[in-house]
Structure 1
Amino acid sequence: MTHTAPRTTLTIGSDLPVRRLGYGTVHLTGQGAWGPRGSDANATAVLRRAVELGVTLIDTADNYGPGIAEERVAAALHPYADDLVIATKGGCVRTSAQAWHVDGSPAWLRETCEASLRRLRRERIDLYQLHRIDPDVPLADQLGVLRELRDEGKIRHVGLDSVRAEQLQEAVDLDIVPIVSVQNRYNVLDRVSEPLLRLCEARGIAFLPWFPLGNGSLTDHQELTDIAAAHGATPSQVALAWLLHHSPVLCPTPGTGTVAHLEENVAAAELRLTEGDMARLDALTTPDA
């Protein structure tokens, strides 16, 4: 029996409807998100093809490059379509491919947000995400400056990246600014963030899983390979389809540097898994694995 078809859209906040399979830009930069990867022309081709295929959520970050991914998004897609949501992040400072640190000081968050606005050629960022919570800065101060930026019209909504369920709950309880999304590592074989997902479901918060394909580690998994063969699909498509079926608040944004792989990923939204498929995939790991 075919599993109930997943919803095709998700509304971030109360006013940002997006298709539930977006595009992440980390692969537009080099190893460790440092320097460019490939040519500007290829990046433009991938980004424009994503929009042609109906992608309405582009996820990027100021430290991809640094700055390069945001610049490539603007070069390819500006002026932006009315329904295109651009999400970016700030709060992580990268100084080399392997060296980075967290800076959640209000002065830095303001500076880096304004730099992202310039690179993206936007007056307001649709979704601005705190890339990491800085343990050395009170969370109220970090959220406070994001509220100021929202009140000034520079950002529309606020999200968090790489948080635990209790940290999200703390941010919600502080009630400084609404948290409309989270990003955490999550995929069919890595469900450490299951408690966070359940909290997001209860709160109506979007969950944008990063490494939805396990950074490529899922492509050779036998169970995914077998299910894919039964559908004439690929293991990557099965992994993405599982996310879409698993929870209505999940909105994967897989990244790639090639048009062919992008097209494969986007097509996963059309894959309908059966109840038997879902049972087999759900059994691969446990929520507290």
Structure 2
Amino acid sequence: MTAETITAVASGTWTLGDLVVNRMGFGAMRLTQNGEAFAADAVPSDRARAITVLRHAVELGVNHIDTAAFYFSPLRSANELINQAFAPYRDELVIATKVGPGRDPSGHWLPHATPRELRGQVEENLRQLGRDHLDVVNLRIVGTDSIAERFGALAELREAGLIRHLGLSNIRPHHLAEAQAIAPVVCVQNMHGIGASAEQKTFLRSCGEQGVAFVPFYSIAGIGRTAGASTGDSAEVNAVARAHAVSTAQVRLAWTLHQGPHVLAIPGTGNPDHLAQNVDAGALRLSGDELATLDSVHDEAA
């Protein structure tokens, strides 16, 4: 790296419980295969390249990596790639994982884990990552039903020392209140980006008021979700990108980080060039007028 290299430090920091992370992180979902994530015909990624991307992310100042045991393709597992890249782990590297969903060896999705099954998922993450505890475990859910029993099971594992901090993923505001009555919640992972629903925008602000980190997924891909970003950005987003000589993906990331100091980005990629661009976006400062323009695009699309 040269003296001019931008690192994740430029994005600022946030504290997850007692763990200080740079706000520009890295998502491991796309490390395991080429093409759409979770596709049945996925082609395994190049192992050496994936490990190089992981290590370069940390060289660029990333110290918050998001993963899950269900991030795998034929021959590749995100957790095991992370293990190979970083074990023994440095204290400042924070690995956040998710439990709740599961996939069988062929890749088919399984019913979400019961409270009893969550311990097995936590232990599987520990085994794959080669750790004796997990820094952050997010309970990912589907639907609006009570999460008290499932979150309570994870709170017990936290008390037992297997988990350091707890978070939630894909939730509604009432889930956060329900969980906080059981154990501290350090982060919420929900879909958010330009065009996200007005409800998510309100929830993002509410998390900030409560001191809870908001960690958006699909902040670049948007409605493309697991398929990745589309090329259909609005004229306004393209104009801001041209003004800064950056990509529209970088504008989307910068806008996301501008939503509050508690917002943490976790863009994922298996491409070294895209990795550098994502980290660079943490230093992109948008003017008040540019933010107002992008906010209007967001509000119109929501």
After TM superposition, the score normalised by the length of structure 1 is 0.90
* 1:208 alignment partner in structure 2: 215
Matched, 1:154 2:184: no
Matches within 5 A, 1:60-99: 60-65=67-72, 68-95=77-104, 99=108
The question of whether the paired residues in 2 share the 8 Å contact of 1:26 and 1:255 is answered with yes
C-alpha RMSD of matched pairs (Å): 2.2
* 2:114 alignment partner in structure 1: 105
Q: How many residue pairs end up in the alignment?
A: 280
User: Shift of residue 231 of structure 1?
Assistant: 1.0
SS of residue in 2 equivalent to 1:18: strand
Matches within 5 A, 1:37-48: 37-48=44-55
Deviations along 1:58-99, one digit per CA (max 9) or x if unpaired, are: 000111117811111111111122211000011101237874
User: Shift of residue 234 of structure 1?
Assistant: 1.3
Residue from 130, 133, 142 that aligns with 1:124 = 133
Matches within 5 A, 1:47-58: 47-58=54-65
In 2: Cα distance, 1:55 partner to 1:10 partner:
13
Matches within 5 A, 1:257-276: 257-276=270-289
The question of whether the paired residues in 2 share the 8 Å contact of 1:218 and 1:236 is answered with no
Residue from 5, 8, 12 that aligns with 1:8 = 12
* 1:223 alignment partner in structure 2: 236
In 2: Cα distance, 1:7 partner to 1:48 partner:
19
The question of whether the paired residues in 2 share the 8 Å contact of 1:159 and 1:182 is answered with yes
In 1: Cα distance, 2:263 partner to 2:56 partner:
23
Distance 1:267 1:195, change over 3 A: same
Residue from 29, 33, 37 that aligns with 2:38 = 33
Deviations along 1:165-191, one digit per CA (max 9) or x if unpaired, are: 12222222xx21111111111001223
* 1:3 alignment partner in structure 2: none
What percent identity do the matched residue pairs reach?
40
After TM superposition, the score normalised by the length of structure 2 is 0.86
SS of residue in 2 equivalent to 1:153: coil
SS of residue in 2 equivalent to 1:58: strand
Deviations along 1:126-152, one digit per CA (max 9) or x if unpaired, are: 00011215777x522211211111111
Letter in 1 for 2:90: A
* 2:171 alignment partner in structure 1: 163
SS of residue in 1 equivalent to 2:137: strand
SS of residue in 2 equivalent to 1:127: strand
Which sections of structure 2, spanning at least 5 residues, go unmatched? Answer: 1-9, 223-227
In 1: Cα distance, 2:171 partner to 2:301 partner:
16
Distance 1:123 1:170, change over 3 A: same
The question of whether the paired residues in 1 share the 8 Å contact of 2:11 and 2:283 is answered with no
The question of whether the paired residues in 2 share the 8 Å contact of 1:158 and 1:180 is answered with yes
Which sections of structure 1, spanning at least 5 residues, go unmatched? Answer: 1-5
The question of whether the paired residues in 2 share the 8 Å contact of 1:32 and 1:98 is answered with no
In 1: Cα distance, 2:216 partner to 2:231 partner:
15
Letter in 1 for 2:150: Q
SS of residue in 2 equivalent to 1:286: helix
The question of whether the paired residues in 1 share the 8 Å contact of 2:185 and 2:212 is answered with yes
The question of whether the paired residues in 2 share the 8 Å contact of 1:89 and 1:130 is answered with yes
* 2:22 alignment partner in structure 1: 19
In 2: Cα distance, 1:288 partner to 1:24 partner:
25
